[in-house]
Structures are given as structure tokens and as C-alpha cells.
């Protein structure tokens, strides 16, 4: 079996993260990918966008001592993880079978149902403990300015996906990045939107060069 050299698994303050794709259906003004190539020294650009579940599982196995002690693992990276929904489900199933104590979180732009044209929350619910969905704005106008989405009706799609995750009883947090230069987001109004969808809400400050 050929081992991949890319960082499909990386660590941030000792917490493991999975980096499966560089594809994304947004182009957010605050995206870290525009500012730097690495997270704490791990270059997250991939040679090819053809990562399989087994590629990731192989890297997890190489670090199994650390994974066994971790409280949580996060699908995140330099791209939108749920573009690779089948691989996310396969890896999550493997994690729950082999590391039953680990919690699994996904950080996502919330476009997955629109991309795959089905309710993927149903597929995620058996394995995923937490999902963090970028709300990015209090209305469609702000959302589009901040996120530059490449799909139609993106803001409505994100809200529908938040509702779908809440309905499947995945612990759902919606997030906004505040203080993005030139794009004032109304954090209080975002919180009202999040609560109306049944989700929790978290605002985090924009930090130049991230992490
Ligand atoms: S959704 Fe995430 S990966 Fe995609 S552009 Fe926005 S910040 Fe970057």
C-alpha cells in the first residue's frame, strides 16, 4: 500500500484534526487559506484531491497512541469536509468502532445537502457528536459578501442544513467570525437567527493569520 505524504491528520494544541480536501463551495474573506499555507507547521495543501477514507485511516493508525488519548477529533482542514461525505461517514464509523471514547466534530460551511442533493444529516447522525456550521451573517446580503458562495441560495441552504442537523439531534453550533475587515456582521442578529433554528451560537474574533 502506498502511504500518502500529505498532512491528512494534523494537530492543533494537541487536538487531532482531519484534512481531506482543498475543495470548497465558499471563498470566505477571512479564510485562513488566503493568508498562510500551514497550521502550526503542518502544510495543509494536498497534492491531489483524491483522498480516500483508507488514506486517512492509515495516518490515524500511525498516531494511534495519541488518538487513543484524545477527547475529540475534528473534520476541518483547508477545504469543506462534507464535500467528501462518503469518506467522512466511513472514517467516523471506523473511529467509533476503534476509539469508542472519542467525540467527533465536523466544522462545515453547511452546503452539504445542497451539494449532494439529499439530507446527509441522516447519514452523519449515528456517528457525529458535534457539528459546527458557519452562519457567517445575519442575512443573505451579508452572507454573500463574507462567504462568496458558489452555490445558489446558499444562505437559505445553510439555514436548512442547520435545521436538519438539529432535527437529527446532532449537537449543533452555528458560528460567525466578528470584526472581519470591511464586512461588519451584526453578531446579535446572527444569534437570533441561530436560536430560531434551534442551534447554539458562537462568535469568534477575526484574527489575522489565525490560530
Ligand atoms: S468555508 Fe472554510 S474553507 Fe471554505 S472558504 Fe470559508 S473559511 Fe475557507
Q: Which atom of ligand 1 is nearest to the CA of 107?
A: 2
- Atom 7 of ligand 1, nearest CA residue: 31
What pLDDT was estimated at residue 36? 84
Q: Is residue 210 part of a domain?
A: no
Mutation pick for ligand 1 pocket among 109, 146, 206 (CB with most ligand atoms within 8 Å): 109
What pLDDT was estimated at residue 208? 64
CATH of the domain at 125: 3.20.20.70
Mutation pick for ligand 1 pocket among 20, 23, 26, 32 (CB with most ligand atoms within 8 Å): 26
What pLDDT was estimated at residue 183? 83
Mutation pick for ligand 1 pocket among 27, 31, 34, 81 (CB with most ligand atoms within 8 Å): 31
3-state secondary structure 56-101: HHHHHHHCHHHHHHCCEEEECCCCCHHHHHHHHHHHHHHHHHHCCC
Residue with cell string 502544510: 43
- Atom 8 of ligand 1, nearest CA residue: 31
Q: Is residue 3 part of a domain?
A: no
CA 1 / ligand 1 centre spacing (Å): 32
Using 70 as the pLDDT threshold, list the residues of the chain that sit under it.
1-2, 208-211
Domain that holds residue 34: 9-205
What pLDDT was estimated at residue 179? 86
Q: Is residue 2 part of a domain?
A: no
Which residues, judged by CB distance below 6 Å to any ligand atom, belong to the binding site of ligand 1?
24, 26-28, 31, 33, 79-80, 109, 134
Domain count, the chain: 1
Q: Is residue 104 part of a domain?
A: yes
CA 34 / ligand 1 centre spacing (Å): 10
What pLDDT was estimated at residue 1? 55
Helix (H, G, I), strand (E, B) or coil at 115: helix
What pLDDT was estimated at residue 182? 82
What pLDDT was estimated at residue 122? 98
Mutation pick for ligand 1 pocket among 80, 157, 185 (CB with most ligand atoms within 8 Å): 80
The total of other beta-carbon atoms located within 10 Å of residue 98's CB is: 14
What H or E segment, with its residue span, contains residue 170?
none
The CA distance from 186 to 180, in Å, is 11
CA 189 / ligand 1 centre spacing (Å): 22
What pLDDT was estimated at residue 41? 85
Q: What is the CA radius of gyration of the chain?
A: 17
Q: Is residue 1 part of a domain?
A: no
Q: Which atom of ligand 1 is nearest to the CA of 33?
A: 8
Amino acid at each position: 500500500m502506498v502511504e500518502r505524504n500529505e498532512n491528512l491528520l494534523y494537530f492543533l494544541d494537541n487536538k487531532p484534526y482531519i484534512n481531506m480536501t482543498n475543495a470548497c463551495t465558499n471563498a470566505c474573506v477571512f479564510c485562513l487559506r488566503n493568508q498562510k499555507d500551514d497550521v502550526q507547521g503542518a502544510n495543509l495543501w494536498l497534492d491531489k484531491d483524491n483522498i480516500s477514507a483508507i488514506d486517512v485511516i492509515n495516518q490515524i493508525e500511525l498516531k494511534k497512541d495519541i488518538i487513543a488519548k484524545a477527547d475529540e477529533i475534528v473534520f476541518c482542514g483547508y477545504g469543506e469536509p462534507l464535500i467528501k461525505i462518503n469518506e467522512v461517514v466511513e472514517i467516523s464509523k471506523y473511529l467509533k468502532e476503534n476509539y469508542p471514547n472519542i467525540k467527533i466534530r465536523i466544522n462545515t460551511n453547511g452546503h452539504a445537502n445542497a451539494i449532494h442533493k439529499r439530507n446527509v444529516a441522516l447519514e452523519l447522525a449515528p456517528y457525529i457528536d458535534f457539528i459546527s456550521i458557519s452562519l457567517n451573517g445575519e442575512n443573505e446580503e451579508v452572507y454573500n459578501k463574507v462567504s462568496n458562495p458558489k452555490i445558489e441560495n446558499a444562505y437559505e441552504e445553510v439555514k436548512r442544513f442547520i435545521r436538519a442537523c438539529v432535527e437529527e439531534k446532532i449537537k449543533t453550533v452555528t458560528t460567525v467570525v466578528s470584526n472581519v475587515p470591511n464586512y461588519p456582521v451584526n453578531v446579535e442578529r446572527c444569534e437570533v437567527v441561530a436560536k430560531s433554528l434551534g442551534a447554539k451560537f458562537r462568535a469568534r474574533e477575526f484574527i489575522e493569520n489565525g490560530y
